[in-house]
Structure 1
Amino acid sequence: MSRPRTAVHDRVLELVQQQIAAGQQLGVQVCAYQNGEKIVDIVAGVMGPDDPRPVQPDTLFNSFSTTKGVAATALHILAEQGKLEYEQPVARYWPAFAANGKERVTVAQAMSHQAGLHAMPTPSTIETLCDWEGGLNWVASGVPAWEPGTATGYHAITYAWVVGGIVYGATGRHIKDVIREEIAIPLGVADELFVGIPEGVEDRLATLAVPAPGEGMALPIPPDHDFFKAMPPSLGGHVYNDMRVRRACLPSANGHFSARALAKMYAALAGGGVVDGVRLVSPERIALMQRILTADMDRVLMLPLRKGVGFMMGGPVNGVSGVFGPRETAFGHSGAGGSTAFCDPETGLAVAVTINQMQMTLQAEGPTYAICQLIREELGCA
Structure 2
Amino acid sequence: MRLANRVMNLTPSSTLAISAKAKALKKEGHDVIGLGVGEPDFNTPQYILDAANQAMQDGLTKYTPSGGIPELKKAIAKKFKKDNQLDYELDEIIITTGAKHALYTLFQVILNAGDEVIVPSPYWVSYPEQIKLAEGEPVFVHALEENDFKITPEQLEQSITNKTKALIINSPSNPTGMMYSKEELYALGEVCLKHNILIVSDEIYEKLIYTSDPHISIAQLSPELKAQTVVINGVSKSHAMTGWRIGYLAGPKGIVKAMTNHVSHATSNPTSIAQYAALRAYETDQDPTIEMRAIFKERLQTLYDLITTIPGITCRQPKGAFYLFPNVSGAIKQNGFQTVDAWVEALLEEVKVALVPGSGFGAPENVRLSYATSKEELVEAAQRIKHFVEKNQQ
Q: TM-score range by the shorter chain?
A: under 0.3
Structure 1 length as normaliser, TM-score? 0.25
Identify the structure with the greater helix proportion: 2
Computing the radius of gyration from Cα coordinates, the structure with the larger value is 2
When the two structures are superposed, what TM-score results if normalisation uses the length of structure 2? 0.24
